Amino acid sequence: MHRRNFLLLSIGAASAAALTQCATSQPSTVQSSATSPQIYRSQAGQLSLDLVAQAQTVQLGDRRANLLTYNGQVPGPRLEVRPGDRVQIHFTNQLKQPTNLHYHGLHIPQDGTADNVFLQVHPGERYTYQFEIPANHPAGTFWYHPHVHGQVAKQLFGGLAGLLVVRGELDEISEIQAAQEEFLVFKDFALGAQGNIPAPGHMAYMTGRVGDLLTTNGQLNPQFTLAQGGLLRLRLLNASVSRFLRLSLEAHSFYLMATDGGAIAHPVELETLDLAPGERTEVLIQGIHASGQYRLLNTPFNPAQSMGMGRMHGGSRNARTETVATVRYSGSRSPLAMPEQLIPVELLPEPQITRQFTLNHGAGMVFLINGQAFDPDRVDTTVQLNTTEDWLIQNTGMMAHPFHVHVNKFQVMSRNGQPMPYLAWKDVVSIQPGEQVRLRMQFKDFSGKTVYHCHVLDHEDRGMMGILDIQSADSI
Ligand code: C2O
Ligand code: CU
Ligand code: CU
C-alpha cells in the first residue's frame, strides 16, 4: 500500500495543470450590500468563480474586526447549484498557513479535484477545484470551509465559511416556492480591543473555542419581515467552531422541513431547534400574527457547561439567552398553506456490518476515537462500496461530540436504544456524554479515502478524526 500517496499531495503540478484550463470567470449573479452576501448561481449547468482566502478587516456587528475571509466577506459568498451542474472554483490561498476547501454534505468524489481534504493549498498558491454535482443529488443546504488538520478550528473561528445550496425537487414544491426564503449563518467570534481574535486559552482546547459575539450573517440581530398569512422559509447553519445552539421563536412554532442532507417527508412541528456545530436545518414559519416583532432566541446550551466545565472557561458570558434575529410583521396576504408532503425518505436496508466507535478524551487534551488520535498515515475504517453499515457510536467522555461523516449521508436509527420519531438524512449527529447513537449509512458512488470526525473543530484538530477508506471491488 502506498499510504503516503494520497497525503499532503504537493499541488504544484496539479495546480499548474488546472491553471491552463482557467478562463476568466465572472460571477453569474452578484448582489452585494451591507446585508446580503455575494451570491454565485450556476448558469447553463456551470458554476465558475474565483475564491480567495485572505485576511481582511470587515465590519462585524458594530465592531471592526480583523478576520479571515473568502473574497473579503464574512460569511463567504453563497454558492447555488443544481443537480447535474459542473463546478469550477479557482481558489487562491492568500493566508499565511496552508488551507483547502471541504464541501460539507455534498455527495461528490472525495479525491482528485473534488472534496479532497488531504490536499493542501500552500500560501500564495492557486488551485482549481472541479467536480460535478450528481444528477440525482438531493436539494439541500450545504456549506464549504477549510479542512487542513490542525488548522481547521483557527481558520473557521477566523471567519472562513460559506453556504453552498443545491436547488432541486424540494424547491419546486408549490408551497415551498411560495414561501419567502432567508438564510441564517450563525457564527460566534471573540474580538480583542484592536479587533483581533485573541489566542484561545487552555480551556478552549477542551470545550472548543467559544466567542461572546454571536453573529447571524455577520450581523448582530438582523431583522427579517413576514406578512400576516405568509410563510417564511429559514435555512439555518451553525458555522460555529464549538457553540451549540438551542433556538426558539417567540409566539411561533418551527415546522421542520429539512435536515443536513435534505428534506424530510412531512413538516414536523417543533418548539425548539437544536443546532450542533456543523448542522443545518430548514424550517417554515407561519405568519399567524397580525403585527409585532418576535425574537429568535438562542438559549445557552453547551453540554459541557452542564457538566460544570462552563465556569472554568468563562462560561457565564455564554450563559444568557440572546436574540440572534428578529422577525417583524409587515403587511398581510391571503394565507399560504403549509405543505403536507415534502420528499419521501426511504429507510436504508438492513446493514451488512455493525461497527462500534467510542468517543473520549485522553491526557494532555487529546481527543480520541476508539482510543486513538488521528494519524494521517493510518486507515481506521475500511468499508466496501455499495454496502450498508450501522455505526454504533458511544460517548464515554465528558463533552458532547457532534459526529460527522464526509461524502455519504446517514440516518440516525436510535439514540440510547430509542428509535427516532421520523426519518431524516443527516451528516452531523450530536452525541452527549453517556449517550449511544446508532446511525446507518450506505457507501455509494465514490471509492477512496475520506474522514469522519467530531465537528467541535478543536476536538478534530486535537485528534478526534479517523480515516475512512471506501473500497470498490476493482480497487481491492
Ligand atoms: Cu464540516 Cu470534515 O467537516
Ligand atoms: Cu464535512
Ligand atoms: Cu468533540
Ligand 2 ion: residues within 5 Å (CB):
104, 406
Q: Which of 96-110, 202-216, 446-460 has the lowest mean pLDDT?
A: 202-216
* pLDDT value, residue 279: 98
For residue 451, the ligand 1 atom closest to its alpha carbon is 2
Average pLDDT over residues 37-58: 96
Q: How far is the CA of 406 from the centre of ligand 2 (A)?
A: 5
* pLDDT for 205: 75
Question: Cα(412)–Cα(93) distance, rounded to whole angstroms?
Answer: 37
Q: Which residue has the higher pLDDT, 308 or 256?
A: 256
Distance CA 454, CA 461 (A): 9
Residue 309 pLDDT > 50, yes or no? no
Q: Is the pLDDT of residue 12 over 70?
A: no
Position 28 pLDDT exceeds 70: no
Average pLDDT score over residue span 48-59: 97
455 CA → ligand 1 middle, Å? 6
Which pLDDT does position 207 carry in this prediction? 86
Structure confidence at residue 79 (pLDDT): 98
Res. 213: pLDDT tops 60: yes
pLDDT band at 473 (very low <50, low <70, confident <90, very high): confident
* Beta strands 293-298; 280-286: pairing state: unpaired
pLDDT, mean of residues 113-136: 98
Mean pLDDT on 134-156: 98
The ligand 1 atom at the shortest distance from the C-alpha of residue 465 is: 2
**pLDDT at position 325:** 98
Question: Is the pLDDT reported for residue 18 higher than 50?
Answer: no
**How does DSSP assign 69-130, residue by residue?**
EETTBSSPPEEEE-TT-EEEEEEEE-SSS-B--EEET--S-SSTTSS-TTB-B-TT-EEEEE
Please name the residue whose Cα sits nearest to atom 1 of ligand 1: 104
* pLDDT, average across residues 456-476: 91
Instruction: For residue 398, count other CB atoms closer than 10 A to its CB.
Output: 16
| Sequence-distant (≥ 6) Cβ neighbours of residue 364 within 8 angstroms | none
3-state SS, residue 392:
strand
User: Span 353-372, mean pLDDT?
Assistant: 94
Task: Round to whole Å and give the CA distance between 231 and 253.
Answer: 12
pLDDT for the residue numbered 313:
40
Q: Using DSSP, how many helices (H) and how many strands (E) does the chain show?
A: 6, 31
Residue 63 CB neighbours (<10 A): 13
Is a pLDDT exceeding 70 seen at residue 49?
Answer: yes
- What grid cell was written down for 137? 443529488
Cα 404 to ligand 1 centroid, rounded to whole Å = 7
Inter-residue contact 454 to 464 (CB < 8 Å): yes
Q: Specify the residue with its C-alpha closest to ligand 1, atom 3.
A: 104
Residue 298: Cβ within 10 Å count: 24
Q: What is the pLDDT of residue 475?
A: 57
Identify the residue with better confidence: 295 or 32. Answer: 295
How far apart (Å, rounded) are the C-alpha atoms in residues 385 and 168?
Answer: 26
Q: Pick the more confident residue, 78 or 25.
A: 78
Q: What pTM, to 2 d.p., does this model score?
A: 0.91
Alpha helix (H) residue ranges in 91-244: 152-157, 174-178, 202-207
Which residues are CB-contacts of 56 (< 8 A; sequence separation ≥ 6)? Answer: 66, 67, 68, 69, 72
The Cα 42–Cα 363 span in angstroms is 48
**Which domains does the chain possess?**
9-167 (2.60.40.420), 174-332 (2.60.40.420), 353-475 (2.60.40.420)
Q: Are 364 and 358 in contact (CB under 8 A)?
A: no
For residue 303, the model assigns a pLDDT of 57
- Residue 80 makes CB contacts below 8 A (sequence gap 6+) with 39, 40, 41, 42, 47, 164, 165, 166, 167
Instruction: Specify the DSSP element, H or E, that contains 13.
Output: helix 12-20
**Residue 476's pLDDT band (boundaries 50, 70, 90)?**
low
Average pLDDT, the chain: 90
Ligand 1 centre from 173 Cα, in Å? 30
> What pLDDT does 206 receive?
83
Residue pair 396/411 in contact by the 8 Å Cβ criterion: no
The atom of ligand 1 lying closest to the CA of 145 is: 1
Give the pLDDT mean for 19-36.
Answer: 39
- For 258-294, the pLDDT digits (tens) are 999 999 999 999 999 999 999 999 999 999 999 999 9
User: Residue 31: is its pLDDT beyond 70?
Assistant: no
CA distance 294 to 250: 5
Strand, coil or helix: 391: strand
Predicted local confidence at residue 302, as pLDDT? 63
CA 361-378-8 angle, to 5 degrees, is 105
